[in-house]
Amino acid sequence: MRWAVVLYVVIYRILTPPYVAAVAGDVNELTILRAITDGALEIMLIVPVIFMKRAGYFHPLVFPAFLLIATNVAFAPAHLFLPFVVSTRLFATVSPSWAAVLIDLDPQNYAQYRIQFSIYSILYYASLYFFFFQQDKKAQHIRSEVRERPAYLRYIPMSAFLVCMACVGIALLLFRSSGGLEAHIVSLSKGRYETLSGSGVSISAVKAAIIALFAWMAGAKTLPLKSPMFILTTLAVLPVVWIVDGSRSTIIYAIIGLLAIAAIRMKRLPVATIVMAGVLGVALLGVLGSIRHDFTSTSVNTSVFDPANFGTWLETASTEIVERNAEEGDLAAFVAADRMGFIWGQSYLSVLAFPMPRIIWENKPRTGHAYNTWVAFFGNPVDGDAPAAWGIPLGPIAEAYWNFGAVGIVLVGGTVGLIFGTLLAAFKRGSGRPELLVLYVIFLLYFSGGSRETQYVIQYGASLLAVFALAMVIHAVLGGRSSRARGAAVPDLRQASPS
Give the DSSP per-residue string, 179-225.
Answer: TSHHHHHHHHTT-HHHHHTT-HHHHHHHHHHHHHHHHHHHHSSS-GG
Q: Of 22-36, 206-220, 419-433, give the range with the top mean pLDDT.
A: 206-220
At residue 347, φ and ψ (nearest 5 deg) are: -70, -30
Among 35, 4, 30, 37, residue whose Cα is nearest residue 17: 35
Residue 385 located in a structural domain = no
247-254 mean pLDDT = 82
305 and 183 belong to one structural domain: yes
193 and 307 belong to one structural domain: yes
Higher local confidence (pLDDT), 248 or 154: 154
Cβ(122)–Cβ(410) under 8 Å? no
Residue 349 located in a structural domain = no
Quick check: 198 pLDDT over 60? no
Cβ(425)–Cβ(205) under 8 Å? no
172 and 79 belong to one structural domain: no
Instruction: Report d(CA 372, CA 399) in Å as an integer.
Output: 9
Instruction: Report d(CA 65, CA 62) in Å as an integer.
Output: 6
Quick check: 178 pLDDT over 50? yes
- Range with the lowest mean pLDDT among 83-92, 390-399, 478-487? 478-487
- Which distant-in-sequence residues (6+ apart) come within 8 Å of 472 by Cβ? 152
For 355, counting Cβ atoms within 10 Å of its Cβ (0-12 exposed, 13-18 middle, 19+ buried), the class is exposed
Residue 389 located in a structural domain = no
What's the pLDDT at 176? 84
189 and 319 belong to one structural domain: yes
- Range with the lowest mean pLDDT among 130-134, 200-204, 459-463? 200-204
What's the pLDDT at 495? 32
Banded pLDDT at 343 (limits 50, 70, 90): very high
406-423 mean pLDDT = 96
82 and 193 belong to one structural domain: no
What's the pLDDT at 493? 28
73 and 187 belong to one structural domain: no
Question: Residue 396 is which amino acid?
Answer: P
The alpha carbon dihedral of 176, 179, 181, 184 has a sign of: negative
What's the pLDDT at 498? 38
141-151 mean pLDDT = 69
279 and 209 belong to one structural domain: yes
How many residues are recorded in the chain?
499
40 and 163 belong to one structural domain: no
Quick check: 365 pLDDT over 90? no
This prediction has a pTM of 0.86
Residue 372 located in a structural domain = no
Residue 334 located in a structural domain = no
pLDDT digits (tens, 9 = 90+) for 374-386: 999 999 998 866 6
Quick check: 373 pLDDT over 80? yes
What's the pLDDT at 428? 80
Banded pLDDT at 492 (limits 50, 70, 90): very low
What's the pLDDT at 323? 59
Residue 116 located in a structural domain = no
235-255 mean pLDDT = 84
The alpha carbon dihedral of 466, 471, 472, 476 has a sign of: positive
293 and 217 belong to one structural domain: yes
350-363 mean pLDDT = 81
Among 173, 171, 174, residue whose Cα is nearest residue 210: 171
Quick check: 490 pLDDT over 50? no
Quick check: 294 pLDDT over 60? no
80 and 171 belong to one structural domain: no
Residue 241 located in a structural domain = yes
Banded pLDDT at 364 (limits 50, 70, 90): confident
Residue 388 located in a structural domain = no
Banded pLDDT at 91 (limits 50, 70, 90): confident
52-67 mean pLDDT = 88
49 and 191 belong to one structural domain: no
478-490 mean pLDDT = 52
147-171 mean pLDDT = 92
What's the pLDDT at 457? 95
Domain count of the fold of the chain:
2
Domain that holds residue 201: 151-323+437-480
271 and 166 belong to one structural domain: yes
What's the pLDDT at 408? 97
